[in-house]
Amino acid sequence: MIAGQQVSVQSARAIVGRLEERVAPLTAAGFLRLDEDDLKAIGFSRPKMRYGRLLAEEIVSGRLDIDGLAGMEDAAAIAALTRVKGIGPWTAEIYLLFALGRPDVWPVDDLALCVAVQHLKALEARPDRKAMLTLGEPWRPFRSAAARFLWHLYRHPGVALGRGDPEPVDIQSIDGPRHGPAEGVPVSRLVVFLHGLGADGNDLISLAPLLSPLLPGTAFVSPHAPFPCDMAPMGRQWFSLQDFSPAAMHAGAVAAAPILNAFLDAELARHGLQDRQLALIGFSQGTMMALHVALRRARPCALVVGFSGALVRPELLAEEVVSRPPVILAHGDADPVVPFAAMAGAESALKVNAVPVHTLARPGLGHGIDQEGLEFAAAALRQYLMAEEPPEARGGSNA
């Protein structure tokens, strides 16, 4: 669970796979024998190293009896896990449900579960924690089974669950969590986050509180991608990556582009803004979508920020490019999911097509976002999104 924080499902699986190869059998004591360079090579960021070591130390010292959790009541097991820094209630509940096979776990903070309950009960608004607790009561003492069925419903929203054929969910009407600006402050700019494969909008909206003090008057929104992920049971995707060929990825981006464009147009209209007051921030597959869409919109946005991503079918850009907003790209040279070379390929194609581009290589970073990358993005947002003149009037260096 710690390995998967703020990275894609693919990256988390790759990190765990490398960890199991490095420490066999994988034990807490074995984990503690790894030094910082070892963990960095595996794909752990510094916060994950710290949390991982704290967990391992708790197990080795006996303060956390990991084997004894199986004999504890649910509440006691959750309390024991959440005493460890880096493990919250959701992580503990998911551990009990999947690893320990507990029959009556109800993770009320799980977004997919809340969305599925909203759909099942035909609620106007997504239920909050208190409402989820109430709505889950009829399923005691088998709420874990209910959660599994509801996660299936989340992935297949048009399914009928014994009450006739419900109207299919309109997957083309995407939405997601929002942040800012402060109440009473008019919205003058918009930042849209685009998450990676297997995540959802909650993955990147956590960056908004870090950026909002630097961008007064900015509204942040992080839409959930339109399709259930076919590689992760509770995540979303902009398009499938079962076929990783350039042609298949391009076809997927083309299919998802109208959905994203409609969302962007609606958000701009909602706030009375123009494209030059919009910035897109993508991670992994979200970067692919941000670049694909922004370079083909009728009017340039203020900025595109791409972390750990790629430009899909760069050889087609010369014929398809319409707008040339400034682009900044950051990528770790230890990325096991999207090759580090993808950034150089994107940079080259953007330069050839007169798109202003700046890049940042992050030594030792895997498939993720680190502090240096975030600061790089924040500086660009201050420079381009907070400026008054349109991006095409500013030009910019292709360095």
**Phi and psi dihedrals of 107, rounded to 5?**
-75, 85
For tokens 């010292």, name the residue: 61
CA angle 252, 367, 297 (to 5 degrees): 40
Q: Which of 157, 169, 233, 241 is nearest to 199 (CA)?
A: 233
CB atoms closer than 10 angstroms to residue 210: 12
Amino acid at 207: L
Interatomic CA distance for residues 320 and 293, integer angstroms:
11
Do 305 and 325 form a contact (C-beta atoms < 8 A)?
Answer: no
Residue 225 DSSP SS3 = coil
Tell me which residue of 242, 238, 235 sits closest to 255, measured CA to CA.
238
Active site residues: 284, 335, 367
Instruction: Transcribe 249-315 into DSSP letters.
Output: HHHHHHHHHHHHHHHHHHHHHHHT--GGGEEEEEETHHHHHHHHHHTTSSS--SEEEEES---SSGG
